[in-house]
């Protein structure tokens, strides 16, 4: 009876040993193995064995993480207060660095993304935030990627999702846009008046250079007047005709 209990104990001990020694890692997982507290290797994927008590293993997921950057209050370069949030996509490319060089790589990446978002956007004006979002995304991505390289992290993409402006600022921007449209309309109208005046001056020079051209313009004006439905028609007399009448007198 005692031997049976001993064998049962050995079987339980063996099962416990095997359950703590055997690890199965998926294709997208890696195991950072430590032996007596020292980094030994990166294992996986598949079936691996570690020595219980002496060795420990930390699982690392290699898939792309999607991290929402909380809404940040940003003061633009032209002193406009906006609220901006974004999303970042990153993955671990060196598992040992993600475990050895930073305490919590997910929290560290999130905090770094928040400070970088405020820093980069604070250097630009509001118009640039709204019109050049792709360039800002690229700038933030490059900064994050360079700073997280020591953590074994690759930042693949950054996307600014929303740029929220105060209601009072929206009204001010609308008034500014309306004033700009009015200014452009006045400039276009003035340019049209200038071009028309230049054409009239040019036409006057041509008519003054050839009296026959003036006569043709006179007959054209009479034709236009005759086509109108008016009761009274005033016929202008050419100046040379008036001069001829005075000379006869």
Same domain, 93 and 114: yes
Q: Which domain holds residue 125?
A: 65-165
pLDDT score of 88: 95
Same domain, 97 and 151: yes
Tell whether 174 is covered by a domain: no
Instruction: Round to whole Å and give the CA distance between 161 and 117.
Output: 12
Instruction: Round to whole Å and give the CA distance between 122 and 81.
Output: 10
pLDDT score of 42: 94
Same domain, 52 and 70: no
Structure tokens at 23: 């690890």
Angle between helices 167-209 and 211-226 (to 10 degrees): 120
Q: What residues contact 203, with CB distance under 8 A and at least 6 apart?
A: none
Which residue in 61, 51, 167, 70 sits closest to 110, CA to CA?
Answer: 70
Q: What residues contact 43, with CB distance under 8 A and at least 6 apart?
A: 23, 25, 30, 31, 33, 57
Same domain, 86 and 6: no
Global pTM reads 0.65
Residue finishing a domain among 143, 165, 187: 165
Structure tokens at 92: 């671990």
Buried/exposed code over 164-201 (b: 16+ C-beta within 10 A; e: otherwise): ebeeeeeeeeeeeeeeeeeeeeeeeeeeeeeeeeeeee
Average pLDDT for runs of 10 along the chain of length 249 = 68 71 90 93 89 90 93 86 92 95 93 93 86 90 94 94 75 68 80 78 68 61 61 57 54
- Residues 151, 65 contacting (CB under 8 angstroms): no
Which residue in 208, 217, 211, 204 sits closest to 241, CA to CA?
Answer: 211
Same domain, 144 and 90: yes
Tell whether 170 is covered by a domain: no
Alpha-helical (H) ranges within 94-210 are: 95-100, 105-121, 126-131, 133-147, 167-209
Tell whether 172 is covered by a domain: no
Which residue in 86, 72, 97 sits closest to 151, CA to CA?
Answer: 97
Number of domains in the chain: 3
Tell whether 173 is covered by a domain: no
Same domain, 157 and 218: no
Instruction: Round to whole Å and give the CA distance between 229 and 240.
Output: 29
Tell whether 225 is covered by a domain: yes
Same domain, 153 and 185: no
Instruction: Round to whole Å and give the CA distance between 67 and 112.
Output: 12
Residue finishing a domain among 115, 139, 165: 165
pLDDT score of 235: 56
For 24, phi and psi rounded to 5 degrees?
-120, 120
Q: Are strands 153-165 and 81-92 parallel, antiparallel or unpaired?
A: antiparallel
Same domain, 150 and 75: yes
Place of tokens 């416990």: 16
Judged on CB neighbours under 10 Å (0-12, 13-18, 19+), 102 is: middle
Distance of CA 153 to the CA centre of its chain: 23
Same domain, 161 and 69: yes
Same domain, 98 and 152: yes
pLDDT score of 212: 59
Same domain, 118 and 208: no
* CATH code of the domain containing 134: 3.30.479.30
Residue finishing a domain among 23, 39, 61: 61
Same domain, 89 and 21: no
């Amino acid at each position: 009876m005692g031997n049976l209990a001993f064998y049962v104990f050995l079987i339980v001990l063996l099962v416990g040993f095997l359950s703590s020694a055997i690890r199965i890692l998926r294709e997208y997982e890696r195991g950072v193995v430590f032996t007596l507290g020292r980094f030994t290797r990166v294992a996986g994927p598949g079936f691996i064995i570690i020595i219980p008590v002496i060795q420990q293993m930390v699982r690392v997921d290699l898939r792309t993480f999607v991290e929402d950057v909380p809404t940040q209050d940003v003061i633009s370069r032209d002193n406009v207060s906006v609220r901006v949030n974004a999303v970042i996509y990153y993955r671990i490319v060196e598992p040992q660095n993600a475990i050895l060089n930073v305490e919590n790589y997910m929290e560290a990446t999130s905090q770094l993304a928040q400070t970088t978002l405020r820093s980069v956007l604070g250097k630009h004006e509001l118009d640039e935030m709204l019109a050049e979002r792709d360039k800002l995304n690229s700038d933030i991505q490059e900064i994050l990627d360079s700073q997280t390289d020591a953590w074994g992290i690759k930042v693949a993409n950054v996307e600014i999702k929303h740029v929220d402006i105060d209601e009072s600022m929206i009204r001010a921007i609308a008034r500014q846009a309306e004033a700009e449209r009015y200014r452009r309309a006045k400039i276009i109208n003035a340019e049209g008046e200038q071009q028309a005046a230049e054409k009239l001056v040019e036409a006057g020079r041509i008519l003054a250079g050839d009296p026959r051209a003036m006569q043709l313009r006179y007959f054209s004006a009479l034709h236009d007047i005759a086509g109108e439905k008016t009761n009274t028609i005033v016929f202008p007399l050419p100046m040379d005709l008036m001069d001829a009448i005075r000379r006869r007198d």
